[in-house]
A and B are shown apart, each in its own frame.
Chain A
């Protein structure tokens, strides 16, 4: 069924205040209803022209407002210099120095922690490794004593292994 849209509804559509469902129905009607299209175009031209109009306050007015924001007072007469906003607190020199000092402390702590962990780890590893090496050597000596080797080559190898084990100690 054909729906008739009023001029007020056309205006609501032009200013994006029509709900989604009505907007869809409106667009559908625009495609088929020549009379609606003409009325729409009539309003649309004016609205488009209006949107072109835009004025800016003078720089002086803006600077006076900013001066009030930053200094709490409105200067009389022209503002000679542009009000320079102080840098955000996160970028101020004091804050940067503080962040830098804190960062150094964190790095130092991390290095100390790393060194202490490394030293402790090495010590524990050495401590754990020593009895194991002693046990291995004892076992090797014991094994060697149970066998009689005829092969001089093998004897030589065993001697070398013994030497290496000694070296490990």
Chain B
């Protein structure tokens, strides 16, 4: 359910998202002070909140806890492969590339590249038997700098290409003008 910014439905959604869970009564009292006067002028707020909750339930953004109480339950995003590998590494502390491949479905080159990235951040060390040990746990997975650099290079190339095209167009236009002048 895509809500318009500042709309009554969006205000209710934001409030529930912030609170995690709330009853219709609580949301109604909040909306009485939060909603713009023109949004609720001459209308009963409680049925308005209930209508919004019905829509949010239908779009699976909220779940009913008990009668009249709801909780935020936005649909789960699929977990990224490297995030899966990070979870496995943190859970097991010592893993092999084969473990990562088996438990996450990653390919061998990708798993190896990811391990190299972690080695670059000095978060893991390689054991004598080839397995990898997590030696420093920052909780949150570090950014892949090599990937970021690759993306940056792609962006620069694109920008250069478009500048080159513009300059070629400009040169062509100048030439045409020069030819037009007797």
A binds B: no
